[in-house]
Structure 1
Amino acid sequence: MSASPSSPTVASSSDAANASSRSRIVFASFIGTAIEFYDFYVYATAAALVIGPVFFPHSSTTAQALSAFVTFGLAFIARPIGSLLFGHFGDRIGRKSTLVASLLVMGLSTTLIGFVPGYDSIGGLAPVLLCILRLGQGIGLGGEWGGAALLATEYAPAQRRGWFGMFPQLGPSVGFLASNGLFFGLALALSDAQFRSWGWRVPFILSAVLVALGLYVRLKIAETPAFQAAIERRERVRVPLVSLFANHGWPTLLGALAMVVCYTLFYISTVFTLSYGVSALHFSRQSFLAMLCFAVVFMAIATPLSAWASDRFGRRPVLITGITAAIVSGFAMAPLVSSGSTPLVTLFLTLELFLMGVTFAPMGALLPELFPTRVRYTGAGVAYNLGGILGASVAPYIATMLAARGGLAWVGGYVSVAAAISLVAVLLMRETRDVSLS
C-alpha cells in the first residue's frame, strides 16, 4: 500500500530533497564567488608584481606601482555600476539568470586580459584595453556577490542564515589561495624574464576553464523561495534602485560603511604589502606569495567560526569585537612589517587576514537582512560595492603614498581609521539576526 501524503516516509523523502537542494545551492553560491574572486585577485597580484612595468613603463618603480594601482582601483568604481545593473534584473527577473550573466561578464573580461599585448607591442592602446577589461571585471563582480549571498541566505533556515551566508564568504579565501598559489608556482618554475614576458598571463587565461565549471553548476539550480513568493504576491517594483534610495538609503549607507574594514584589511595586507615587501623589503616574489598563502588559511578558518558566532550571539556583537581588534592591529604594522623578518611579517599578515575573516563572514547574512525581498539584490550589492570604493579602490594607492611620505606607521594609522569608520556604522545598526527574509 502506498504511503499517505502525511506519512513519515513522504516527510523523510521531502526532508532529504530539501537537504539535497540546499547543498546544491550552497555549492553554487560558493563556487561562483570562488571563481569570481579568483579572477579579481589574479589581477590584484599581477598589479603588485608585473602590470606596472608591462603596461606603464615609467622610469620610476614607484610611478609604475602607482599607475598599476590606479587600474586596480578602476574595478571598484565599476563594481557599484555592476551591482545596480545586475541588481535591477536580479530583483526583477530572478537571482539565478542574473548570476549566470555576471559570471560570464567577469570570466570573459579576465580571460581577455591574458591576451592584451603590452606597451612595447602596441603602445598607448595597451593600457586603454587593460582599463576597459578591468572595468568589465568590476561590473561582473559587482553583480556577483549580492546574488550569491541571496542565493544562500534566502534558502537558509531562519536561525542558520549566518552559517549559510558564510559559504559565499569562503569564496574569497579559496579564490585568493588559487590565484596566489598559481602565481607562486609560476614564480618557482619560470625565470624573471619568462614570468614578465608570458608567465603572468597564464592565470588569466585559465579563468575560462573555471568559468565553464561555474556556469555548469549554476545552470542546474532553481530560483530562491523568497523570490518566488515575491512574484506570487506581486511585490516586485519597476525600478528597484529608485525604491532602494527612496526608502532604504540609511541601511544602504550603514552597510557600505560597515564593509570598509573588510576591504581595507584585505587589500592593505595583500596588494600593498606584497608590492612593498618585494620592492622595499626585497623579499622574493615566491617567498612573499608563500607567506600570503599561509596567512589566508587563517582567514578561511576565521570565516566559519565567525559565521557560527553570528548565529549564536548576533551579527553586531561579533562585528564589534572583530572591528575593535582591527583598530588595534593597525598599530602593529610598522614594528612587524618594517622589521623585514619573515616570521614577523607573516605574523602581521596572518593577524590582518584572520580579522578580515572575522569581520567579513557575518556580512553574508547581515547585508541581505537589511533589505526587503523586492530590493534585496540591489540593496545588498550596492552596499557591498560602495564599501569597496571607500575601503579598497584607493587603499593600495593611498598606502603607497603614505609609506613614501611618512612610513608604515602612517599606513597602519590608515587601517585603524578605516576600521573606526566601520565600528561607528555597526554601532548605529539594528541587530538583524531575527529579521524575516520573507
Structure 2
Amino acid sequence: MTSPTRALTLALLAALLLATPACSSSPAENDTDAPGFDTAEPDVTEEPDSTEAPDGDDTPPDPVSGETPLILIGFDGFRPDYLTLAPTPNFDRLIREGVVAESLEPVFPTKTFVNLYSIVTGLYAENHGIVGNTVRDPATGDRLRMSDAELQGQSRWWGGEPIWVTAEKQGKRAGTYFWVGSEAEIGGERPTHWVPFATHYMDPARERIDQVVAWLSAEEPVDFATLYFSDLDSAGHSQGPRGSRLFNELQEADANLGYLIDKLEAAGIWPNVNILIVSDHGMTALDDDKVIRLDQIIDERDVFVVEWTPIASLIPDAGKADEVYQALKAAEENYTVYRKEDLPERLHYSDNERIPEILVVADPPYSIANQYILDNIGINAGGHGYDPEFEEMHGFFAAFGPDFKQGLRSETVKIVDLYALMAHLLALEPAEHDGDLTRIGHILAD
C-alpha cells in the first residue's frame, strides 16, 4: 500500500510534468537538450576510468556456455535520461543488479528502421542496405516503407545476417515478437516463431510478454527472443522529450517490465536469463519556427525526395545534379549539403546504391519541409534522425543476467557492437559484421 507521503510526492511530480508546456502535436521528427531535467542517476558502481573505452586490451572475452536464453527488448525512442522523469522501480532493479551504459550510440541516420536492423546485424546502414525509414530500390523504383507489410516480407531488401538467422543456422531456436526484418526469409532462414507487425501492432504489451515467455518455457524452448514497444517514441514525437505523456508511458513501460519478471519467475526461468534492453535512437525537441524550406531553395520539380527530414535525401533528374547541389550550397544555413561520396567517413553512409546522390543534413533542431508539409502535416514536437554525434540522438542500454557484471555503469556503447555481444552470449559463430566484441566485453561477468 502506498504511503500518504509517497502518494503526495507522486501527485506533485505528475502535476509538475502536466504543467510543462507541450509543443505542437502535429506529426514529424527531431530534438534538443531539454533544460530542467533532473539529472540524478541510479546508484550504481562506476567502473574505474569507465568514461573511455577499455584501452590496450583486445583479448576477446572468455566463452560462455550459450545455454542461458537471451531476450532482446527494444523500446523505440528511449532516451537515457528518461528514467529521471518518473518512478521506475523495475528498471532501477535491473540497473542495480546488472549493467547500465551512459548511452547507446546509434548509426547514421538515427532512424528506427536503420538502427533496429543495425542492432541485430552489427552492420552500418551502407552495409545492410536499410538506409532510411523509406528505402528506394534504384533498379525498380520500388520504395520500402515502415507501413508496407508486403514489401517488408520480401528477402531482397535485407542485407547482412540478423542474429536470429545466425542462431537458426547453428541449431538454436529464435522467436521474434516484432523486429525489423523478422518477417522476411533472410539467407534462407526465418525465426522458429515470428509475429507480423502490420496485423498485430495493437496487441497489448502483456499479451506479447505472455507469448515470449511461452516460447521460452515450451517443450522445445527458444534460445533467443525479441520484444518491441513503440509507445515512448510516439509520445516523444507528439509532445517532445518533456511532454506529460512520457510520465504515463514510462510508468507503463516499467510496469510491463515488472510483469515480464513476474512471468519469468513463475515459469522458473528467472534469474537464469540474459536480458538486453535497448533503444534505436533518442529524441530531441523541435521548433516549428526552425524550418529549412527546401522549396524556397531549389525547384522541387528537379528532384525526387525519398525522405524529407532531418535529412533530405534527393535524387536529381538527369542533368540537374550540379545545379541542385550548387543552389543548396549557395543557401547553406542551418544545414550541410553533401554529395553522398563526400559525407564524413565516420558516418559509414556512402557505399550503397540505395543512398540518394544528394543529402541535406539539418542542424538540430531544424526540420526540412516545403509548403505542402507545413500546411497538411506540420512539424512534430520531437524528432530524431540527426548525426549520432548529437548526444540527444543516443538511446538507452541496460543488461541483466548471469553473464553480466552487477552494479556496473559503463561508458557509451555502440549499436554495431550488439550483434557480436549477442552471438557471444548464445555461443554462436558470428557472421560478418562491423562491430567489435572487445569494445563491449567489459560488461560481461568475469
Q: Smaller-chain TM-score range?
A: under 0.3
Q: Which has the higher strand share?
A: 2
Q: Which has the higher helix share?
A: 1
TM-score by length of 1: 0.26
Structure of greater relative contact order (alpha carbons < 8 Å, 6+ residues apart): 2
